[in-house]
Structure 1
Amino acid sequence: MLDDFAIRAALAGLGVALAAAPLGCFVVWRRMAYFGDATSHAALLGVALALATELPIFAGVLAVALAMALIVGGLSDRQLSTDTLLGVLAHAALAFGLVAVSLLPGQRVDLSAYLFGEILAVSAGDLAVIWIGALAAVALLVWRWQALLTATLNPDLATASGGHPRREQLILTLALALTVAVALKVVGALLIAAMLIVPAASARPFARTPEMMAVIAALFGAVAAFGGLAVSFSYDTPTGPSIVSVAALIFIGSSLLSPMLRAR
């Protein structure tokens, strides 16, 4: 019989996987990998804000992740190329977050828990927050799925048909911030982007429609979460990195199978 903490860890991993997978598809389609990095690395600034103001960690991380995503969106039309801008902001956010946490007076903060996750320490309250945030992110995507898809594949067509690509970008930004906030406890700030990108990239060769890709990505994300937990329990390895390692192995397998699938 599994212990309560193992069940909570498995449910937390599943909640993050279900939220990150469909969102990760849009990250892959829009080539926004660095966008995910910049937002997730800003999570440490949110931790510092929450600890300094005695707010819940989720609230601080959500506020800063959303602010970073909006800043990135606002600056992306400037002279710097998008990848350069995102690279600067991603690493700057991580560095400022590390410095801010270290300067907190009277606080002894275990940075590894925030950098790599602490899924085995998820409480019932954490689990509720993770699932509420994950379901909210999924609900946003389901609600705006067709509009988001049109704005992603052809912004000009979206505009011509009366859509608002900028609004859809903001909705995607909010979903990303929610996912970053709920995933911090599970895989940590350094690995959140991997859970967005790797399952979605693994699903791509198997999918014939965008909806199928989102479903397969969610399945791969869940397998990675459960597989990483099993590896962690069996070999006493860090759980967050183990989850991402399993996701990476799934991607390698998907890449090896891809030529055979194309030949059929």
Structure 2
Amino acid sequence: MTDNIIYNFLSAIDDFILYALAAGILVAIAAGPLGCFLVWRRMAYFGDTVAHSALMGVALGFALGTTNPIVMILVCAAVALFLLLLQRDRSLSSDALLGILAHSALSIGLIMIALQESVRQNMMFFLIGDILAIDTVDLYQLSAMCLAVLVIMALIWKNLLSATVHEDLARVEGVPVTRTKIIYMLMIATLVALALKVTGVLLVTALMIIPAAGARNIARSPGVMVGLAVLIGVLSVISGVFVSSTWDVPTGPAIVLSATVAFVVTRIACLQRA
């Protein structure tokens, strides 16, 4: 029976399935290293904040009469930089600031969309994505984003890792911590904005956090963890698209649930090895 399901899936593969797989894999490759640092720095809620601000970027784009992703990128980047500025005020904890920004951005985005009758019916698309609607232009954008993330991560890896391990010590050693953090936040903003079509606002952060958390269960070094996070993300995309095509369920949630299954498996393996 399993062989028949796989055969039917392979025989039914069309261009839009291949595009979906390519887009999801590109996002997974870029999300792997970025997600690892989110896990290491305990900034998972930061990803959600940027994702929620992406909806505000979508609403602003429609208000301006454009669907250019640069609008979302700029809005996400502005929110990320605003958070960095607010973090200088020690009177509020980072999680409180993230909560305020996340819910404020999401509320503003929802209100702006509600005021535009023409986009109200597309809310589900923005919330959970539509990876099966990926086209050639989207693939080019995702390819450029993925390549840029990998190159920039290679350039700032040492500095970002030092700042993650001990930020104050990194500053003493001359590491440009603030500049490194800004570059890292801008990469996350770009990934969130361009990956919105793949998994949507509600799920885009999951593709960064869950594979990285699963990799952390079994990895023994930062480099290995990044590689495993990318592998788990890619396998989650493939299995999610397979489940979606076979049983006609939403693709974005299927991808995230596949990543969750991988996390559970690696967690069990970690507990058994302990």
Q: Which runs of 5+ in 1 are unaligned?
A: none
SS at match of 1:31: coil
CA distance, structure 1, for counterparts of residue 154 and residue 65 of structure 2: 34
| Residue of structure 2 equivalent to 1:204 | 216
CA distance, structure 1, for counterparts of residue 121 and residue 68 of structure 2: 12
Q: How far 1:64 sits from its partner (Å)?
A: 0.7
Q: Does 1:161 align with 2:178?
A: no
CA distance, structure 1, for counterparts of residue 242 and residue 96 of structure 2: 38
Q: How far 1:109 sits from its partner (Å)?
A: 4.8
Q: Considering only aligned residues, what root-mean-square deviation do their CA atoms show, in Å?
A: 1.3
Equivalent positions of 1:132-147 (< 5 A) are 132-147=144-159
Q: Greater CA deviation, 154-163 or 120-129?
A: 154-163
Q: 1:122 aligns with which of 134, 145, 151?
A: 134
Q: Does 1:27 align with 2:38?
A: yes
Measured against aligned partners, the alpha-carbon deviations of 1:60-79 in whole angstroms (never above 9, x if no partner) come to 11011101111111112321
Contact 1:47 1:61 in 2 (8 A): yes
| Residue of structure 1 equivalent to 2:198 | 186
| Residue of structure 2 equivalent to 1:90 | 102
Q: How far 1:107 sits from its partner (Å)?
A: 4.5
Q: How far 1:55 sits from its partner (Å)?
A: 3.3
CA distance, structure 2, for counterparts of residue 35 and residue 72 of structure 1: 9
Contact 2:218 2:269 in 1 (8 A): no
Q: 1:101 aligns with which of 106, 113, 119?
A: 113
CA distance, structure 2, for counterparts of residue 57 and residue 44 of structure 1: 13
Aligned length: 262
Q: Which runs of 5+ in 2 are unaligned?
A: 1-10
Contact 1:47 1:57 in 2 (8 A): no
The one-letter code matched in structure 1 to 2:217 is: P
| Residue of structure 1 equivalent to 2:125 | 113
The one-letter code matched in structure 2 to 1:76 is: Q
SS at match of 1:42: helix
Contact 2:214 2:262 in 1 (8 A): yes
What TM-score do the two structures reach when normalised by structure 1?
Answer: 0.95
CA distance, structure 2, for counterparts of residue 159 and residue 35 of structure 1: 22
What TM-score do the two structures reach when normalised by structure 2?
Answer: 0.92
Q: How far 1:86 sits from its partner (Å)?
A: 0.7
| Residue of structure 2 equivalent to 1:64 | 75
Q: Does 1:261 align with 2:267?
A: no
- Runs (4 or more) in structure 1 with deviation over 2 Å come to 54-57, 104-109
| Residue of structure 2 equivalent to 1:5 | 16
Contact 2:57 2:73 in 1 (8 A): yes
The one-letter code matched in structure 1 to 2:17 is: A
- Evaluate the alpha carbon distance shift between residue 148 and residue 73 of structure 1 in structure 2; reply closer, same or farther with a 3 A threshold: same
Measured against aligned partners, the alpha-carbon deviations of 1:148-189 in whole angstroms (never above 9, x if no partner) come to 100111112211221111111101111101110121010001
Q: How far 1:106 sits from its partner (Å)?
A: 4.7
